[in-house]
Amino acid sequence: MPHDVPLISTIAIAFGLAFVFGYIADRIRLPPLVGYLVAGIIVGPFTPGFVADGGLAAQLAEIGVILLMFGVGLHFSPSDLLAVRKIAIPGAVGQIGLATALGVGLAWLWGWSLGAGLVLGLSLSVASTVVLLKALEERDMLNTAEGRVAVGWLIVEDLAMVLALVLLPALAEVLGGHAPGAAGGHGAGSDGPIWLTLALTLGKVAAFSVLAILLGPRVVPVILTNVARTGSRELFTLSVLAIALGVAYGSAVLFGVSFALGAFFAGVVLNESRFSHKAATDSMPLQDAFAVLFFVSVGMLFDPSILIRDPLAVIAVVALIVVGKSLIAFGIVILLRFPVGMGLAVSASLAQIGEFSFILVGLGMSLGLLPEEGRDLVLAGALLSITLNPAVFAAVGALRKHLQAKRPAGVPPYGWEQFEQLQSSLADARHQAEEREKEHSLQIQALAKTFPVLSLLDAHEQERLMMLFRSKSVVPGERIIRKGDRANAMYFISSGAVEVLMEGQTIRLGAGTMFGEMALLSGQRRNADVAAVDYCQLQVLDRRDFNQFTARHPALRTALIEMAAQRRRMNQPDTTAQDTTAASETAA
């Protein structure tokens, strides 16, 4: 076996150091992301010791970007955004504009180009989703009005950065960089007016978006349904990742849009299907693993000497992130007539930068817009702002308590009316989400309650069984099963009633009963006719799915065989028992 294995050594050492420093960061109450970046610095070319393969790390980081963007799309919630739209949309857009302007101003003071200033400003204007969610969870703020506004604000920021990732390559040459893929100077696509380049870029994005929105919801659920019916968890996870990476790669090759945008739309499309929860759960470990490699690879690019070479520039960047962005966010919240407490909470939530900043910096470097010093300054700003974020939250919390104590009793705070309207919108959105979750949970509970034999399965397998069902509606008089037919499915009655006609007997079955499994178990032809006597809603489990599912759960198959044997004895000609309850699950 060859000992020169740079891929294995890079991954092994990156994971090992990321684990150690991530754990240390968590123990000192910092986000593990800080530890991942430190691990990257240690294996990077600017520190002594082992140096990881930069080329391999960059490709692993690209996969990390794709999966990060896929996760953003998969968790994108239009309902959450709509609930806080009156503050999140104008707030995020205004904050991005003003913070970017401050970044451009800093770049001008340093003698950088407009393009470098634009990339720097955009990178410093967007907060980290990972850090924000971690901070809100630790302080039990995720489901508060302030937390929901901060998350909605960040969703708008993320969408704006997706647009920036699309437009920057088209504007690169005008801003002083070079076309994508060109080694330097001007590359392909430099001829022609800028409006034409922008029009072509936006046209490609629009074409891809329309195709994804129209075709995706029709194709993706069909693929996932067929894969789910195999019962293989690894195949389902593989299908989710294949969709994410395949759409990202296909969008880049066919439409010329970025991997990140393609992965984002893949997540959005999948989010609209009934498999979104399972897809998020099954793909999360791999998303997390490659996200770690992404942050480690970012840390490898950081030159710590920037802290000594240009400390004033580092302080200016950190001040813009922690102070400048916070003041901008606070001012916008107050101008929109929301309470001071909400302004303070939102400003603390956004006083850091993270993953999107790194993606923008990488794009700016590849387009020749941002100098290496800019990359080092952004990475230094990220490390320091994330490290300082707990202190910012603590200071804001103390200030909020002080202001609450100073407010006269019985006097409503500034912006209370707007806050109550926001609370009402959030309550409606939360109620709708809870109803959807409750309905899904009740469906699973009702499955085992209605059919006790399915209590042999755990909740996960009951949910998997539900995904195998195919809904079928029948009208009174419609024949569902004919005697002598080959067995092709088992039927669960959700509503309505059917009659089983067998050897002179007529047995009525209502909602909550099942039929058709005996012929599947025996391999023989149907021995009875089954017809609807009411409008029925049936859940159908096809023969292939029935055989595969019961093969994976022998206890369930054994229970069904025992039930079938008992019903055969009940349905003998000499029996007089034709009670509906006793024959609630019959032969056919």
Yes or no: is domain 458-570 CATH 2.60.120.10?
Answer: yes
- Radius of gyration in angstroms for the set of CA atoms belonging to the chain, rounded to a whole number: 30
pLDDT in tens, 349-395: 889 887 788 888 888 888 889 998 998 999 899 888 888 888 888 89
- How confident is the model at residue 587, as a pLDDT? 46
- How confident is the model at residue 430, as a pLDDT? 66
Residue 579: both structure tokens together? 């009670």
Confidence of residue 554 (pLDDT cuts 50, 70, 90): confident
Residue 537: both structure tokens together? 């809603």
Q: How many helices (H) and strands (E) does the chain have?
A: 23, 8
- Residue ranges, comma separated, of all CATH 2.60.120.10 domains in the chain are 458-570
Residue 26: both structure tokens together? 């968590």
Q: Which of 225, 273, 223 is nearest to 243 (CA)?
A: 223
Query: For residue 314, how many C-alpha atoms fall within 13 Å in the half-sphere facing its CB?
Result: 18
Average pLDDT over all residues of the chain: 79
Yes or no: is domain 54-405 CATH 3.30.300.130?
Answer: no
Q: Which of 216, 193, 201 is nearest to 257 (CA)?
A: 201
Distance CA 528, CA 587 (A): 7
156-165 core/surface letters (b: 16 or more CB in 10 A; e: else): bbbbbbbebb
| SS3 call for 14 | helix
Q: How far are the Cα atoms of 22, 31, 382 from residue 28, in angstroms, in the given order?
A: 10, 9, 18
**For 80, phi and psi rounded to 5 degrees?**
-65, -40
Other Cβ atoms closer than 10 A to 43:
25
Distance CA 335, CA 342 (A): 12
Distance CA 179, CA 503 (A): 80
Q: Contact 490/514 with Cβ under 8 angstroms?
A: yes
Asked whether the predicted pLDDT for residue 318 surpasses 90, the reply is: yes
Return the top range by mean pLDDT from 175-189, 443-457, 506-520, 523-537.
523-537
Distance CA 48, CA 187 (A): 37
Q: Which of 455, 462, 520 is nearest to 491 (CA)?
A: 520
Q: Which of 509, 558, 550, 548 is nearest to 529 (CA)?
A: 509
Confidence of residue 435 (pLDDT cuts 50, 70, 90): low
In the chain, the N- to C-terminal Cα span, in Å, equals: 60
> How many residues are there in the chain?
588
Asked whether the predicted pLDDT for residue 6 surpasses 70, the reply is: yes
- How confident is the model at residue 585, as a pLDDT? 40
- Residue ranges, comma separated, of all CATH 1.20.1530.20 domains in the chain are 54-405
Confidence of residue 442 (pLDDT cuts 50, 70, 90): very low
Q: Which of 451, 457, 459, 453 is nearest to 539 (CA)?
A: 451
What single DSSP character describes residue 480?
A: E
Element (H, E) at 434: helix 416-450
User: Which amino acid makes up residue 362?
Assistant: G
Q: Which of 95, 104, 141 is nearest to 351 (CA)?
A: 95
pLDDT in tens, 490-524: 888 878 888 888 777 788 888 777 788 878 877 78
Q: Contact 135/349 with Cβ under 8 angstroms?
A: yes
Confidence of residue 119 (pLDDT cuts 50, 70, 90): very high
Asked whether the predicted pLDDT for residue 279 surpasses 90, the reply is: no
- How confident is the model at residue 104, as a pLDDT? 93
| SS3 call for 535 | coil
Return the top range by mean pLDDT from 16-25, 414-423, 533-542.
16-25
- Of 207-211, 431-435, 460-464, 571-575, the range with the lowest mean pLDDT is 571-575
Q: How far are the Cα atoms of 321, 349, 374 from residue 388, in angstroms, in the given order?
A: 11, 12, 21
- How confident is the model at residue 197, as a pLDDT? 66
Query: For residue 544, how many C-alpha atoms fall within 13 Å in the half-sphere facing its CB?
Result: 8
Stretch 76-84: mean pLDDT: 73
Q: Contact 489/472 with Cβ under 8 angstroms?
A: no
Stretch 223-237: mean pLDDT: 76
- Of 118-127, 145-154, 183-192, 460-469, the range with the lowest mean pLDDT is 183-192
- How confident is the model at residue 184, as a pLDDT? 45
Stretch 305-315: mean pLDDT: 91
Residue 248: both structure tokens together? 């990202």
Confidence of residue 192 (pLDDT cuts 50, 70, 90): low
Distance CA 300, CA 286 (A): 21
- How confident is the model at residue 506, as a pLDDT? 81
Stretch 332-346: mean pLDDT: 88
Asked whether the predicted pLDDT for residue 577 surpasses 50, the reply is: no
Q: How far are the Cα atoms of 33, 502, 563 from residue 499, in angstroms, in the given order?
A: 62, 10, 19
- Of 87-96, 426-435, 466-475, 537-546, the range with the lowest mean pLDDT is 426-435
